[in-house]
Structure 1
Amino acid sequence: MIPNSAGEMMVVERDRQQTVGTSMMEQLVPEITTHVLSYLDYRSLCSLSITNSSMSKAANDDNAWKTLFHKDFTTEQASINLN
């Protein structure tokens, strides 16, 4: 419910076709999905990609893999530089 210009509460119905059958994860904006996926390791990201088509699309996004690569590469580089 949201207030209209007269201050009365209006019921706003969401597009039911879009939300029926979709998970909360699938309804997130891409930037948040990428951030959430950045906490996964390689194996988990691959596992997620085979769950359904929208998770496959999210898990196969270049930004998710770039974030994962950067995180691991930076950690590996730091350990090499310390030796």
Structure 2
Amino acid sequence: IDRIKRSFEELVTYLYCESDFNAGCYLMTGTCLVPPNDFTLVEGDSVDIKIDSIGTLTNRVAFKTTRVKSFFTDAALVND
């Protein structure tokens, strides 16, 4: 655990940043490889998925900053 790149608190905070999980969820980390910054998607990038018989789905990367919440802060409030 002492070799992971991001702290458990940081991972859980990002997990709950955009979604609520009323019944809980699993947090699974994958490989220890962290891509370089020039590989990582940034706001404004487009992701295109093309299937010839269906068409192309295009999504633009955006970050929702209006609702950032910390799982640990919320959990502490519930337990008080």
Which has the larger strand fraction? 2
Question: TM-score w.r.t. structure 1 length?
Answer: 0.19
Larger RCO: Structure 1 or Structure 2 (Cα < 8 Å, ≥ 6 residues apart)? Answer: 2
Q: Which has the larger radius of gyration?
A: 1
Which has the larger helix fraction? 1
